[in-house]
A and B are shown apart, each in its own frame.
Chain A
């Protein structure tokens, strides 16, 4: 069956970097885009952007340009999200979700940024 399995929770200090992963199984990885979604504690869902899993081309929402990088390890059917120079407001759960129709989601990764 189709699954998106994300890496484990992270506790980081301001200014550090974090890389979280989303491993896909049960389908051909390069057939579907991968979206990234942020959910701050107690808040709603916010689209961060997506990556074309065939070409590797990322597209970022304006609020996520600069410190955020989407990448792939296509041979491992894995999409990654790296956040650099972490800020307190990056504390959130980050989900990956399979495009085009958003049919499947990862379980989410809680990233806590605290000094």
Chain B
């Protein structure tokens, strides 16, 4: 399953809204009705941080300025007001079809 993440680079100012797209070549809806699409943030030299699972469910401790939406094969991560700690590379992941596949990443950086 091909996962296409855009843009590859997203220059923002602090306080801006940011939006990242993730499109898959197949439906990510499992036979059980659940859609397995997750989002992660990786800062330089660090492990990925888990932000959102199953399209729109934030992990505990993730600020509510992060929101995930979408369905079937078209998904979006929105950050309502970018803060300095949000800078880094964002990845989406489809985990319904083998092999699981990550998007190529979106670098969120300051203008």
Q: Report A's interface with B, CB cutoff 8 A.
A: 35, 44-47, 49, 59, 61-63, 95, 97, 101-108
Task: Decide if B75 is an interface residue (CB 8 Å cutoff).
Answer: no
The closest CB in chain A to the CB of B102 belongs to A45
Q: Mask for B76-106, Cβ within 8 A of A = 1, else 0?
A: 0000000000000001010100111111110
Docked complex Cα distance between A63 and B59 (Å)? 30
Ordered by A's residue number, 15 sampled pairs between the chains whose C-beta atoms are within 8 Å are: A35-B100, A44-B104, A45-B42, A45-B48, A46-B102, A47-B102, A62-B99, A95-B47, A101-B50, A102-B53, A103-B50, A103-B59, A105-B48, A105-B50, A107-B47
**A49-B98 Cα distance, complex, nearest whole Å:** 9
**Count of inter-chain pairs, beta carbons less than 8 A:** 51
Measured CA separation A29–B50 after assembly (Å) = 19
B25 to chain A, nearest CB (A): 16
Chain B residues near A45 (CB, 8 Å)? Answer: 40, 42, 48, 91, 93, 102, 105
A101 engages B38 (CB within 8 Å)? yes
